[in-house]
Every structure is written in structure tokens, then in C-alpha cells.
Amino acid sequence: MKIRQITRVSLYAAFIAVSVYLIPPIQIPSVQVPFTLQTMLIMLAGYLFVPKEAFLTVFIYVFIGAIGLPVFSGARGGLSVLLGPTGGFLFLFPLVSFFISFFKSKTKRKIYDLSIGGLVGILGLYLLAAIWLSVSLSLGYISALLSLLPFIPFDILKLLLAYLIYLKFPKDILSDQS
């Protein structure tokens, strides 16, 4: 990787980490998963970066949280957070950003790119993270999945906001191919 890529990846990983402090987590009573900005920033990483950079950016964020730095929701860190109810989301975040980046259009086709973000960043994430949630809370899968429904309207808004931010970035800032 070039210095410019390393810098971009590192700065964005740090940005995800501090985003936890921008808006305090809002706990949803029905389930132990808070509303945060993380999902928006994970999807935005997928739009902004090439697949390898998108994955590394979010992987670094999850890694620094796993070793104990308080970068997860509620200013928490450590393996206990990864093994808790939100662990499925955290483990899947690097893959979500990778797949959004991998499948996004090269020409910023809005409907296509938003569909990819919705399918991977919301639907795919929720379907898979609900497995972890159901196991960690001893719920049935359908119950765990239904408990996540209140998050979907907010995540659709976060997806739209992430894409609007992406559209504002000049191409030469985002790639080393210029």
C-alpha cells in the first residue's frame, strides 16, 4: 500500500472510533443493541474506498476495539463487547464495507449503488447479525430479527446520508489512479 492509502485508511478508522462520542448511543428497550452512527460510517467506507481499503479501515476499527480501546458504542472496548449481543454486527462490519465497495458502480449509478447498500449494509447485515443476537440473548432467530425492526428506518436514512456524502467527494481524492 502507498503512504496515501495507509493515511486514508488510518484516518477513517480513527474517524469511526471517535464517531461513538459524537452521538451517544440510544438504547432500544426491546433489545440490547443501541442506535449509533457506526452503520452509516461503515456503509460510507464501502462507498468511499476500494474493497481492500474499505475492509482494512473497518477491520482496524474493530481490532482496536477488540484489544480494549473504548471505541465501541457506549465507550466500551474489549472481547466482552465482541462476544455480547452487538458482536455479530461488529464482526460483520468489515465484510459489509468490503462488499459495498466491491459491488458499487464505477460511475456512481444512484439507484444501483443505494440498492447495493440496502441489500448488503442493511438486509444482509441484519439477517446475519440476528443469528449472533439470537444466540447471545437466547432468543429465537425470528424474535431476534423482529427486535431489530425499529432500526431499519434509521438505517435507511443513514444509508441515504452516507451516499449523499459519497457523491460530494471528488474522484481524485478517493483514488490513487489519477
Q: Which residues, 6 or more positions from 98, have their beta carbon under 8 angstroms from its beta carbon?
A: 46, 51, 54, 55, 58
Whole-prediction pTM? 0.91
User: 127-137: per-residue pLDDT in tens?
Assistant: 999 999 999 99
For 16-61, what is each residue's pLDDT tens digit? 999 888 877 777 766 667 778 889 999 999 999 999 999 999 999 9
The answer to the question of residue 175 being in a domain is: no
Residue 177 lies in a domain: no
Number of domains in the chain: 1
pLDDT > 50? residue 177: no
pLDDT digits (tens, 9 = 90+) for 64-78: 999 999 999 888 999
Residue 31: per-residue pLDDT: 67
User: Is residue 128 included in any domain, yes or no?
Assistant: yes
DSSP state of 149: T
Q: Give the confidence band of 95 by pLDDT, cuts at 50, 70, 90.
A: very high
What CATH number is associated with residue 50?
1.10.1760.20
Query: Could you tell me which of 178, 154, 157, 172 has the C-alpha nearest to residue 48?
Result: 172
Residue 176 lies in a domain: no
Between 24 and 81, residue with greater pLDDT: 81
Q: Is residue 178 part of a domain?
A: no
Cα-based torsion angle of the residue sequence 68, 89, 153, 112 in order, rounded to the nearest 10 degrees:
120
Is residue 89 included in any domain, yes or no?
yes
For residues 129 and 72, what is the distance between their CA atoms, to the nearest angstrom? 16
Q: What domain range is 38 assigned to?
A: 3-170
State the average pLDDT for the chain. Answer: 91
